[in-house]
Chain A
Amino acid sequence: DVKVTQSSRYLVKRTGEKVFLECVQDMDHENMFWYRQDPGLGLRLIYFSYDVKMKEKGDIPEGYSVSREKKERFSLILESASTNQTSMYLCASKRGFNEKLFFGSGTQLSVL
């Protein structure tokens, strides 16, 4: 089975801090994604990557950046955390175009 691992389950940070969320997948998937999940809003795409060093903006990229230096790892960076970035962050990966998404367990980030 595909495993998508997110480095932290819970994270508490202060406003203005730089925050790194790490995600690793073990099935050699080309495509990786970062979503945030908020009640009543579903899952919204922040950034995605279809290859090493490639990245594309999703629907809500403002305040975030990403890094994909290796195929298995996709990092989400909050350059200067703000309280409105308090959310559940979900990493996902998939192999090809019409394939299904495999999600990590999520990181619940609280920005105080």
Chain B
Amino acid sequence: GQQVMQIPQYQHVQEGEDFTTYCNSSTTLSNIQWYKQRPGGHPVFLIQLVKSGEVKKQKRLTFQFGEAKKNSSLHITATQTTDVGTYFCAGRTSGGYNKLIFGAGTRLAVHP
């Protein structure tokens, strides 16, 4: 079936270091969304990417959508303790009206 693979599963960094999580799809995606889930919380929408090669920034967060629309990445510059949580990508295939396929998530731990 259609899958979205997300790596790494877990990463811990020192505060101030950079962090990147990657998502790869077995099929072309019409768009991809990113969510953040704080420990004990629920997923909260961060951003949606639609266009091939699109790059969007939110302060220290940079989101990219690959040229082939099969991969995406989230890069955090100079992590802070407030960045702790699990980051999920969720891809929508062209035929999937309401079906977002979630990656397994990357859990980020930041040590002060």
Point out residues on A near B: beta carbons under 8 Å: 31, 33, 35, 40-45, 48, 50, 56, 58-59, 90, 97-98, 100-106
Contact = CB atoms under 8 A, between A and B. Distances in A.
Contact of A98 (B9, B48, B102): B48
Nearest to B33: A100
A54 to B, nearest CB: 11
Contacts of B98: 31, 33, 48, 50, 56
Given A31-B98, A98-B48, A42 B42 contact: no
A42 B33 CA distance: 14
A41 B6 CA distance: 10
A111 to B, nearest CB: 21
Given A50-B97, A106-B42, 16 more contacts: A40-B9, A41-B104, A42-B6, A42-B88, A42-B102, A43-B43, A44-B102, A45-B100, A98-B31, A98-B92, A100-B48, A101-B35, A101-B43, A103-B44, A105-B41, A105-B42
B104 to A, nearest CB: 4
